[in-house]
Amino acid sequence: MHMHSAMKTGMRVCGEQALSRCHIHRTYISSRYGRANGQRVQSQREEVLLPTMPVRNKDVTDGAWDDADRHAVDEALKDAEKIARLGIKTGVDHTQVLLGQRIEDLEKLCTLTGQPTYRAKQMCDAVYRKGVKRIQDISNIPKAWKESLVEEHGVSVGRSTIHHRVVAADGTQKFLLRLHDGLVVETVGIPADGSHRLTVCVSSQIGCPMRCTFCATGKGGFARNLMPHEIVDQVLTVQEEFGQRVSNVVFMGMGEPLLNIPSVMRAHEIINKELNIGARHVTISTVGVPNAILKLARYATQSTLAISIHAPNQQIRETIVPSAKAYPLQALMKDCSEYFRVTGRRVTFEYTLLAGVNDDVQQAKDLAALLKEHGNMKSHVNVIPWNPVDESEFKRPSRKNVTTFVRVLEQAGIKTSIRVTRGLEAAAACGQLRNKHQTTPVHMDG
Ligand code: SAH
């Protein structure tokens, strides 16, 4: 699927309200075994005290990008490398879960535990295609082996549980998934009317250290990177809860995927090979991390790279995207051109329109000029009218400014689309659902 059509059908998930008349018509807390589509709600009340949302490190403050931010970003990058090796930080070795493993990794597990390697295929079928959630429930493999995997080797399937769900009238569903360490992460399933398309907007981190000023996730701190299985799990959960095959995956949930490249790319590989979602149906969205775009290019995937540009020049960009100070716009654009040269894949630019900040005609003209200056990347701009988040000083752009902005870009020969707003209320806006549930410890149904 091309980004253009994807956007038109509304794969955008962050805070979707004013342009749409839709409202949430059903909000409930689902139980661990809750079913989709409002078929069943929880029956038992179980008190669970969850940890608070990641708070910012005390040194990290609003305003200009500084040493504390650089430190937070370095920590995220180091954490990603650790996960790639062992998953030390969370205490779970990601090689101890079946989910996120390639068939060749599972073959090694078979050999190490004295089983024939064809059992790896049986395990893949069980976890990726049959949705088996416990090793004990995998059929066709010896019971004694299953017991030893669980008891002696501490292996598990690696699925999360559904902690909370919001269903919008237009069919979009947001889930808060509870991970093994009690932290929760947001994922969204976005069906498209009249087609078989089902897009999942996945998170790549718990929190985010990038601090984009208009983003709900950016208001909090950063807890940790997600492990590969925790990303794959989001896709499987949406697939199961919708009872429909997922056709597209966008890394546009919480977090900055390019701070977590090893997990993101391993999940990408599994999504591709085991869940059969073609790389061209996967989009990785980034605000830009120095050196990371070229690193991504080396993976040579056919997935789409989307750049959160949000401003036509360095000066404005730095005020809304503080991390731009560490990665100037010109350097970012140069890396995008190089990415296009190496991969041959068109780069998409996302532009969140903020009233009075970056939404006037001159800024549209400057953006067109900037894209042209950096050669023919077959760029496509996706304009996102800002979706309000709590305690934010920004304003949503007027309808007139949105259409004028798009017209100016199109007149300059740049393909542009407006991200369709979906029917979720402010409380379910990107990152906010989670914030709401974790700003204070909450007593929830488990
Ligand atoms: N970290 C990644 C993914 C973020 S979410 C990135 O920066 O690209 C995907 C897109 O939604 C980004 O372009 C992000 O800047 C934008 N976004 C975040 N919050 C938003 C909001 N409240 N309204 C409109 N766009 C928003």
Q: Is 410 a catalytic residue?
A: no
Sheet strands (E) in 276-412 = 282-286, 304-308, 347-353, 380-385
Give residue 255's domain range. Answer: 161-443
pLDDT for residue 141 is more than 80: yes
The residue contributing the CA closest to ligand 1 atom 13 is: 308
The active-site residue out of 16, 107, 186, 274 is 186
Q: Is 212 in the same domain as 361? A: yes
Asked whether residue 249 falls in the same domain as residue 357, the answer is yes
* 108 and 178 within one domain: no
pLDDT score for 294: 96
Indicate if ligand 1 lies below 6 Å from the C-beta of 254.
Answer: no
In this predicted structure, which of 17-21, 313-317, 362-366, 396-400 has the lowest mean pLDDT?
A: 17-21
Q: Is the pLDDT of residue 39 over 60?
A: no
Q: Which residues pair with 155 in a beta bridge?
A: none
Q: What is the pLDDT of residue 413?
A: 94
Q: How much is the pLDDT for 423?
A: 57
Query: Do the domain assignments include residue 85?
Result: no
* Ligand 1 contact, 222 CB (< 6 A): no
Question: Is position 391 within any domain?
Answer: yes
At 306, the amino acid letter reads A
Please report, rounded to a whole number, the percentage of residues in the chain having pLDDT higher than 90. 68
Q: Is 324 in the pocket of ligand 1 (CB under 6 A)?
A: no
User: Based on the domain organization, do 288 and 327 belong to the same domain?
Assistant: yes
| Residue pair 250/281 in contact by the 8 Å Cβ criterion | no
Q: Let me know: does 304 contact 3? Beta carbons within 8 Å.
A: yes
Same domain, 298 and 411: yes
Total Cβ atoms within 10 A of residue 344: 10
Distance CA 118, CA 424 (A): 45
In 3D space, the residue among 325, 338, 85 whose CA is nearest the CA of residue 212 turns out to be 325
Task: Report the nearest-CA residue for atom 22 of ligand 1.
Answer: 387
* Residue 387 Cβ < 6 Å to ligand 1: yes
CA 14 to ligand 1 center in whole angstroms: 7
Report how far ligand 1's centroid is from the alpha carbon of 309 (Å): 10
The ligand 1 atom nearest the CA atom of 287: 7
Please compute the mean of the pLDDT values over residues 383-402 and round it to a whole number. 92
The pLDDT, as a whole number, for residue 427 is 41
The count of structural domains within the chain is 2
In a domain, 83, yes or no: no
CA-to-CA dists, residue 101 to 16, 122, 123, 124, 268, angstroms = 35, 13, 10, 8, 12
Question: Considering just the CA atoms, what is the radius of gyration of the chain in Å?
Answer: 21
- Determine the pLDDT at residue 31: 29
- pLDDT of 378 strictly over 50: yes
Domain identity same for 301 and 423: yes
User: Atom 17 (ligand 1): residue with closest C-alpha?
Assistant: 215
Q: Using most ligand atoms within 8 A of CB, pick from 20, 200, 201, 215 the residue to mutate for ligand 1.
A: 215
Read off the pTM: 0.86
Q: Kindly report the average pLDDT of the chain as a whole number.
A: 83
Q: Are 330 and 188 members of one domain?
A: yes
Give domain status of residue 119, yes or no.
Answer: yes
- Tell me how far apart the alpha carbons of residues 291 and 330 are, in angstroms, rounded to a whole number: 13
Handedness of CA 222, 227, 228, 233 (dihedral sign): negative
Q: Are residues 369 and 415 in the same domain?
A: yes
Q: Is 110 a catalytic residue?
A: no
Residue pair 202/187 in contact by the 8 Å Cβ criterion: yes
What pLDDT, on the 0 to 100 scale, is given for residue 15? Answer: 30
Could you tell me if the CB of 321 is within 6 A of ligand 1?
A: no
Residue 353 has pLDDT above 50, yes or no: yes
Residues 195, 317, single domain; the answer is yes
% the chain with pLDDT above 70: 80
- Predicted confidence band of residue 36 (pLDDT cuts 50, 70, 90): very low
Provide the 8-state DSSP code for 340. H
Q: Ligand 1 within 6 A of 285 CB?
A: yes
Mean pLDDT of 408-420: 93
The answer to whether residue 287 sits within a structural domain is yes
Q: Which of 91, 126, 152 is the last residue of a domain?
A: 152
pLDDT at 416: 96
Question: Does the pLDDT at position 49 exceed 50?
Answer: no
Q: Among 3, 14, 258, 283, say which to mutate for ligand 1: greatest number of ligand atoms within 8 Å of CB.
A: 14
374 C-alpha to center of ligand 1: Å? 23
**Which atom of ligand 1 is least distant from the CA of 210?**
1
**CA 114 from centre of chain:** 38
What is the rounded average pLDDT of the residues 126-130?
97
Q: In the prediction, which pLDDT does 2 show?
A: 32
Out of 197-201, 301-305, 376-380, 419-423, pick the least confident.
Answer: 419-423
pLDDT at 424: 54
Helix segments in 225-360, DSSP class H: 228-242, 261-273, 292-298, 314-320, 329-343
Residues pairing with 351 in the sheet: 383
Identify the CA nearest to 369 among candidates 386, 361, 288. Answer: 361
- pLDDT at position 87 is 46
**Nearest residue to 332 (alpha-carbon basis) of 292, 304, 298, 303:** 292
**pLDDT at residue 86 tops 80:** no
- Say whether both 283 and 432 belong to one domain: yes
CATH of the domain at 416: 3.20.20.70
Give yes or no: residues 114 and 245 share one domain. no
Residue 322 lies inside a defined structural domain of this protein: yes
15 lines ligand 1 (CB under 6 A): yes
32 found inside a domain = no
Residue 176 pLDDT greater than 60, yes or no:
yes
**Which residue has the least CA distance to atom 12 on ligand 1?**
308
Q: Is the per-residue pLDDT at 131 higher than 90?
A: yes
**Range with the lowest mean pLDDT among 123-132, 176-185, 429-438?**
429-438
Residue pLDDT, tens place only, 257-284: 999 999 999 999 999 999 999 999 999 9
308 alpha carbon – ligand 1 mean position (Å) = 7
Write down the pLDDT at residue 63: 93
CA of 323 to the centre of ligand 1 (A): 14
Q: What value does the mean pLDDT take over residues 63-78?
A: 95
pLDDT at position 85: 74
> Residue 383 pLDDT > 50, yes or no?
yes
Does the CB atom of residue 252 touch ligand 1 within 6 A?
A: yes
Range 306-338 burial, b when 16+ CB lie within 10 A, else e = bbbbbbbeeebbbebbbbbebbebebbbebbbe
Q: Do residue 265 and residue 117 come from a single domain?
A: no
pLDDT at 436: 46
In a domain, 8, yes or no: no
